[in-house]
């Protein structure tokens, strides 16, 4: 199973969203927040070569000298999920023999950045996360709704709560 950065991100946001994404039930293309994120990505860091797809699995916003991974986000509201997404990219590229040193979460609207490193303990946790993603993805039915504060802004809200 190919595990993407989006899947890592969704794992931390909502297991149901992850399951729906894996089973190709997507409402996100037309969702306002997703469109705003894409617009932000297109209009930020215009000098960089962006959207670097590797193995049709990971899509990195941009790389500096193949040593620093950058992931662009519009807000810090889902920072933990974004941090793990970057850690996954670091791990994935290192396994490909690319000597990635670190990652950076870029928040252009906030004019802030956060450095992300990957240590041995996080690498071990990442292995467990990948196994859990496979387990969730292979379930016959979607996990239960979680009803968190961010659900109302989710592209899947009407699907989950109507």
Residue 85: per-residue pLDDT: 98
Residue 51: per-residue pLDDT: 80
CA distance linking residue 162 with residue 158, whole number of Å = 5
User: How would residue 102 be classed by pLDDT, with cut points 50, 70 and 90?
Assistant: very high
Encoded tokens for 153: 């802004």
Region of poorest pLDDT, from 15-24, 28-37, 45-54, 106-115: 28-37
DSSP element (H, E) containing 72: strand 68-72
Q: How far is CA 135 from CA 32, 61, 139, in A?
A: 30, 27, 7
User: How would residue 100 be classed by pLDDT, with cut points 50, 70 and 90?
Assistant: very high
DSSP element (H, E) containing 61: strand 58-64
Query: What's the CATH number for 5-161?
Result: 3.90.320.10
Residue 31: per-residue pLDDT: 46
Whether residue 103 is predicted with pLDDT greater than 80 in this model: the reply is yes
Q: Is residue 71 a contact partner of residue 79, using CB atoms and an 8 Å limit?
A: no
CA distance linking residue 98 with residue 68, whole number of Å = 11
What is the three-class DSSP state of 105? strand
Q: Is residue 133 a contact partner of residue 7, using CB atoms and an 8 Å limit?
A: yes
**Helix runs in the chain, H state only:** 5-13, 15-22, 32-43, 79-95, 120-137, 157-161
CA distance linking residue 110 with residue 93, whole number of Å = 28
CA distance linking residue 120 with residue 113, whole number of Å = 23
Q: Is residue 114 a contact partner of residue 78, using CB atoms and an 8 Å limit?
A: no
For residue range 140-158, list pLDDT tens digits in order. 999 999 999 989 888 888 8
Residue 81: per-residue pLDDT: 97
The structure's pTM equals: 0.86
């Amino acid at each position: 199973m190919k595990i993407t950065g989006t899947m890592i991100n969704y794992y931390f946001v909502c297991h149901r969203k992850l399951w729906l994404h894996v089973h190709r039930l997507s409402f996100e293309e037309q969702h306002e927040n997703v469109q705003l994120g894409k617009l932000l990505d297109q209009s930020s860091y215009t000098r960089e070569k962006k959207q670097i797809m590797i193995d049709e699995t990971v899509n990195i916003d941009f790389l500096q000298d193949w040593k620093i991974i950058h992931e662009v986000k519009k807000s810090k509201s889902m920072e933990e999920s974004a941090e793990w997404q970057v850690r996954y990219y670091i791990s994935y590229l290192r396994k490909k023999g690319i000597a990635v040193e670190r990652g950076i979460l870029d928040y252009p609207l906030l004019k802030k950045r956060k450095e992300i490193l990957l240590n041995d303990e996080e690498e071990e946790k990442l292995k467990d996360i990948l196994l859990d993603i496979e387990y969730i993805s292979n379930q016959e039915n979607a996990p239960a709704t979680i009803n968190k504060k961010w659900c109302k802004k989710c592209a899947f809200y009407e699907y989950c709560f109507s």
